[in-house]
Structure 1
Amino acid sequence: MKQLAISTQFRWWIAAPLLLVSFCWKPIITQAQPAFRDLNKNRKMDVYEDKTQPVEARVNNLLSQMTLEEKAGMLFINGARINDDGSLDEKPGQGMFAFAPTAPKLMREKMMNHFNLWQVPGIRALATWYNNVQHLAESTRLGIPVTIASDPRHAFSSSIFAMAANGFSLWCEPLGLAAIGDEAFTRKFADVVRQEYVAVGIREALHPMADLSTEPRWPRISGTFGEDAQLSAKMTYAYVEGLQGAKLNSTSVAAMTKHFSGGGPQKEGLDPHFEFQKGQVYPGKNFNYHLIPFEAAFKAHTAAIMPYYGVPMNQTDENVGFSYNKAIITGLLRNKYHYDGVVCTDWGLVTDAHIGSYVWPARAWGVENLSAEERVLKIINAGVDQFGGENLPEIVIQLVKEGKLKESRIDVSVKRLLRQKFELGLFDNPYVDVEKATQIVGKEAFRKLGDESQRRSMILLKNQSNTLPLTAGKLKIYVEHIDPKVAAEYGTVVEKPEQADLAIIRLNTPWVPADTANFLAKMFHHGDLDFKGAVKDNILHLLNTVPTIVDIFLDRPAVIPEISAKAKGLLADFGASDAAVLDVVFGKYHPGGKLPFELPSSMEAVRNQKEDLPHDSKDPLYPFGFGLHYSSLKK
């Protein structure tokens, strides 16, 4: 029967024209029972097509009809390129992600039905593309719908880890949600993300990050909720609940919480995306502390978990990356926590990437000498269900046919993946209303909440002589890194500091590009956290010339003792527009945020602290939880 199914499938792919997509073909048959989607085209309602049947019955029925090739394709998720007009035509790619294949190509050649999106067009084109992809999926042998995932794309800041919003509402970074510290507000944020994602067909979020930022040099801190496990746990629970609801359903977005078992304690902050990483270290013997936010995610029933690239040095019986580590995935996640959701690797653990003449090694840390086949087998045997950033179902097929991997083991993972699709309602109606999508995504109410988050998350660190808030319209102001047109709405903008009553300057936390040929690695904010040389001298010169209000974007804990000492007022933001910052400076909105991590007093203090411990730098300039108010110096 399987041979017949396979040959039928291949004939279908050869014969099925893509014109079916443009005709929006939906096979629906009406018998005595309610209408159903005849996904396998046999003109009868199979159990998996019957929405009145229990999910497990539907999963088992569909699994029994799947070929090995179809099962293997389901185990892979990778980025897909989208045409600007939402069509499925094979057109040359553009921009940073031009290398990515199209979804139809991967569906035809690899039988894949999970994709994540990087660069996206406008909302109308995105929703149109999504419907076109689902129509194409419906024309396949079994009509298995596609699941679309996305990295975060709601942050105002330009973090490399956040996709461009391009129409979605703009909020502060997750660090800002932690600075606000309001679980209800975080849940509201995640609910807005849910509504906007569902409107365009994104049904899986490759977030939140439950990692703890206990090593302040780590480049990925902006996506976390800070260094405190209890605060992060509260935010993680609310975030997952806002995306999913009490349980997955047809209006949910499945949360893929990452990166188990906590990616924060990287030695010297060097990120394991790259070969210069030095492993995750636990000099404070604090491994279990990093599990606390994930325990909150389990309590909220997170649909999926993503382990990180890092190697938990000397924490298990072998020093290998988390997704290769059976003690972590099966021993800890599956057995201790009884987690039965989907486990998906981070992107690119098996194959190298080629960037011009530079070869970016696969993140196969600890197993570099294994072949691609051996890596795939080790990941599956560790207990992982899905491979992120890879298109290698042929290796899974080969391993099964060679007797190195049992098909029954593949079935366990396919069941988990199918279960999620059924729970999300994708088998019953995967389509979106394009017109409605354009009305929901980025609508005024959502934009206002995003604007509120930018302002509400700001932290007042210093207010010498109660200089803040300023009085709008009465001052001559000099600005740097602020749009003069925006500033002109608050005062008279002058060209030189010497002409001003007061200066307002915006800064970013310093970083140092890694010494590498990998252009992507150079974009990660590694290295020291303090201003140096001429950059520092110019800032201090301004502060000595005119009373100055400083706002600094904290994507990592900046080391700014001299700037803090000289500034008349010091604010921190976690992704905010110029208007948001000036609204706080001029008192239209009062700051209320609290630091989600401490600000160290020196780089020496940073280097001397332990990577896995929170709140442990010597004599921090500003401690965890610090934040002033306009109504009084402290609260």
Structure 2
Amino acid sequence: MTDTTRADAAPQLAASDIDTAFRDPALPLDERVGNLLGQMTLEEKAGLFFHSMITIGAGGELAEEDSAFGLPSTDDYVAGKFMSHFNVLGSAPDALMMARWQNRLQERAASTRLGIPVTLSTDPRHSFSDNPGAAMAAGPFSQWPEMLGLAAIGDEAVVEEFARVARLEYTAVGLRVALHPQIDLATEPRWSRQIATFGEDADLTSHLVAAYIRGFQGEALGEQSVATMTKHFPGGGPQKDGEDPHFAYGREQVYPGGRFEHHLKPFEAAFEAGTSQIMPYYGMPVGTEYEEVGFGFNKSVITGLLRERFGFDGIVCTDWGLLTDASIMGAEFPARAWGIEHLSPRERMLTALNAGVDQFGGESCPELLIDLVHSGEISEERLDVSARRLLREKFRLALFDAPFVDEKRAQAIVGSAEFRAAGEKAQRAAITVLTNDRILPLKRGLRLYVEGIDPAIAGEYGDVVNSPDQADAAVLRLQAPYETRDTMFENFFHAGSLEFSDEVLEHVVSVAAFVPTVVDVFLDRPAILAPIVDAAGAVVANFGANPRALLDVLVGDAGPQGRLPFDVPRSMAAVHDSRPDVPFDTEDPLFRFGHGLSL
């Protein structure tokens, strides 16, 4: 760490010299921002530009260094680097501990010279994912279907209700920025990130994103709001070969169908709904009118398209890890500086600032920014443009006025019985029946053979037996297939072929030969289901559902409402022949968007 990042090396200004007018809620917003900005040192301004990951210490204490993700201690972040924007990685056992940690973090921030409060953000944490690169396990929060499941329900009122519940649970523990919604269009069936999207259809996505933002932000940002960082501008779906640009082999976004503009439609709806922030994706566009560099460095996209054409004046935060290499779960990964890999981290930072970004996600190197100003390569006036946006949002969220949360209230709100019931109702509604050869609904009390379901839970619906030849019906739960990659982090991203292995298919056929069989598939990607359909008596898709939610539907206690949020291709040959940027482009799909049976 260089001396310029240490609090004790910054210009020393006594607390008595601080004009505290910025703390007066009666003053107009711009006056508060201007008063504070005018008193900030270069080092304090630089800290605003970095939005890195942070962990919750044991027992709700402030965390020390985290070796798994290469994170510094909390004290180093706040007092050493003057940072005040953090993405909370992982969770705590309960909401009380999470709220307690938040308050301790805010107390530490309040003890700094200007006492700038911390803004805490989070990836989605209400669903079934446990991918620390994209989403968190629900933990103490209520559990809902994935975004694809909300799209399968297709009801704006349900989406807004989810967002309202999530907002109440987030704010109860001090989470004030949602690193979502993700509104990329799932036009490449192999892409690993589509579980967190609203699917393949631009119109459906546009309607649902507006409801989502309303539920999180309200009519305007305020003390009860969660700001939304909508992603990934200008649309991250058209990935070459379906590979994700978290990794070098997925760096290219391609548009063989010439449909770049089509992927902008959901973002227009997000702008109209007032999203507070935008995150560009990692990928670099190939064969378009735009620069062939990653979107986070792309001036033609960020300034030309986002700022000038769409008039967006909110915060633009890069996706995580564009500047520096990182060690993640014991493996080394390069910075996602696609198209400018040859530049140094310092030069990449300058490129992104000149492109128009305000903040660097997943980075904590303010010393590079300070050096750029000292060298004259970037002006402090340019920093002030972004600093105003970042401070303005802190004031709008009332973080200066009410940075602390009520710990007991957090425990009562997060994961309340009411919110859990609403989440489970949505889980049931999202289940999508694809085929049914007069096997569903199952009668209660049957002899059941189950796989992927806790026998104790299945026993609430029938008599569980140990083999298919003893059963009246079988229920098998499967995960959509994916290819195993070299590192743990890569394997959180389900990518590659959509075909089930011969071993899985042979097993399904063998069970179905003994007994009428229901196969339930967690459809985080549109798997090649034809062999499963040929073998099973019924096939259903879930987009995040606990066993009881599934069995409630299978026995007819709840009616399935789900409709497919994308086409399900008939074969991998059809996938290979389709164009990644064009929706509904696989030839003769097995099931089309909107398909779903009632019972």
Same structural fold, with TM-score higher than 0.5 when normalized by the shorter chain = yes
Q: What residue number does 2:561 align with?
A: 592
Q: What residue number does 1:25 align with?
A: none
1:144 pairs, out of 116, 120, 133, with 116
Question: Against the structure 1 CA distance between its residues 7 and 542, is the aligned structure 2 distance closer, same or farther, given a 3 Å change threshold?
Answer: closer
Question: Against the structure 1 CA distance between its residues 455 and 107, is the aligned structure 2 distance closer, same or farther, given a 3 Å change threshold?
Answer: same
Between the aligned partners of 2:66 and 2:325, the Cα distance in structure 1 is 21
Q: CA RMSD in A?
A: 1.9
Contact 2:65 2:72 in 1 (8 A): no
Q: What residue number does 1:604 align with?
A: 573
Q: What residue number does 2:59 align with?
A: 85
The one-letter amino acid of 1:177's match is: L
The one-letter amino acid of 1:292's match is: K
Q: What residue number does 2:107 align with?
A: 135
2:223 pairs, out of 237, 250, 255, with 250
Q: CA deviation at 1:463?
A: 1.3
Question: Against the structure 1 CA distance between its residues 313 and 85, is the aligned structure 2 distance closer, same or farther, given a 3 Å change threshold?
Answer: same
2:45 pairs, out of 44, 65, 71, with 71
Contact 2:7 2:80 in 1 (8 A): no
Q: CA deviation at 1:190?
A: 0.5
1:554 paired with 2:528, answer: no
Contact 1:103 1:115 in 2 (8 A): no
How does 1:78-117 map onto structure 2 within 5 Å?
78-88=52-62, 91=64, 93=66, 96-97=68-69, 99-117=70-88
Q: CA deviation at 1:270?
A: 0.6
Q: What residue number does 1:498 align with?
A: 469
Contact 1:553 1:572 in 2 (8 A): yes
Q: CA deviation at 1:354?
A: 2.8
Q: What residue number does 1:227 align with?
A: 200
Cα deviation 1:364-397 (Å, max 9, x = unaligned): 0000111111100000000000000111111111
Between the aligned partners of 1:447 and 1:627, the Cα distance in structure 2 is 25
Q: CA deviation at 1:544?
A: 2.3
Between the aligned partners of 1:297 and 1:528, the Cα distance in structure 2 is 32
Q: What residue number does 1:174 align with?
A: 147
Question: Against the structure 1 CA distance between its residues 255 and 361, is the aligned structure 2 distance closer, same or farther, given a 3 Å change threshold?
Answer: same
Size of the aligned set, in residue pairs, is: 593
Question: Against the structure 1 CA distance between its residues 356 and 570, is the aligned structure 2 distance closer, same or farther, given a 3 Å change threshold?
Answer: closer
Between the aligned partners of 1:470 and 1:157, the Cα distance in structure 2 is 29
Q: What residue number does 1:511 align with?
A: 482
Between the aligned partners of 1:319 and 1:276, the Cα distance in structure 2 is 15
Contact 1:228 1:614 in 2 (8 A): yes
Q: What residue number does 2:30 align with?
A: 56
The one-letter amino acid of 1:116's match is: N
Between the aligned partners of 2:8 and 2:505, the Cα distance in structure 1 is 68
1:344 pairs, out of 299, 317, 323, with 317
The one-letter amino acid of 1:192's match is: V
> SS in structure 1 opposite 2:421?
helix
Q: CA deviation at 1:318?
A: 2.4
Cα deviation 1:215-235 (Å, max 9, x = unaligned): 010000100000100101111
Rg larger in structure: 1
How does 1:105-504 map onto structure 2 within 5 Å?
105-121=76-92, 122-159=94-131, 161-355=134-328, 358-465=331-438, 467-473=439-445, 475-504=446-475
Q: CA deviation at 1:45?
A: 6.5
> SS in structure 1 opposite 2:58?
coil
Contact 2:468 2:511 in 1 (8 A): yes
Between the aligned partners of 2:18 and 2:306, the Cα distance in structure 1 is 41
> SS in structure 2 opposite 1:127?
helix
1:575 paired with 2:544, answer: yes
Contact 2:64 2:74 in 1 (8 A): no
Cα deviation 1:560-583 (Å, max 9, x = unaligned): 101112211111100001111100
Between the aligned partners of 1:261 and 1:349, the Cα distance in structure 2 is 17
Between the aligned partners of 2:18 and 2:8, the Cα distance in structure 1 is 21
Question: Against the structure 1 CA distance between its residues 124 and 10, is the aligned structure 2 distance closer, same or farther, given a 3 Å change threshold?
Answer: farther
Contact 2:251 2:338 in 1 (8 A): no
Contact 2:144 2:544 in 1 (8 A): yes
Cα deviation 1:133-157 (Å, max 9, x = unaligned): 1111111111111100000110034
Contact 1:9 1:141 in 2 (8 A): no
Between the aligned partners of 2:193 and 2:8, the Cα distance in structure 1 is 47
Question: Against the structure 1 CA distance between its residues 203 and 561, is the aligned structure 2 distance closer, same or farther, given a 3 Å change threshold?
Answer: same
> SS in structure 1 opposite 2:410?
helix
> SS in structure 2 opposite 1:404?
coil
Contact 2:328 2:489 in 1 (8 A): no
Cα deviation 1:197-220 (Å, max 9, x = unaligned): 000000001011011100010000
2:584 pairs, out of 599, 610, 615, with 615
Between the aligned partners of 2:324 and 2:285, the Cα distance in structure 1 is 22
The one-letter amino acid of 1:469's match is: P
Q: CA deviation at 1:84?
A: 2.0
Question: Against the structure 1 CA distance between its residues 395 and 484, is the aligned structure 2 distance closer, same or farther, given a 3 Å change threshold?
Answer: same
What percentage of residue pairs aligned between the two structures are identical? 50
Between the aligned partners of 2:65 and 2:44, the Cα distance in structure 1 is 28
- Structure 1: runs of 5+ lacking an equivalent: 13-39, 631-635
> SS in structure 2 opposite 1:276?
helix
Q: Which moved more, 1:588-597 or 1:156-165?
A: 156-165
Question: Against the structure 1 CA distance between its residues 355 and 341, is the aligned structure 2 distance closer, same or farther, given a 3 Å change threshold?
Answer: closer
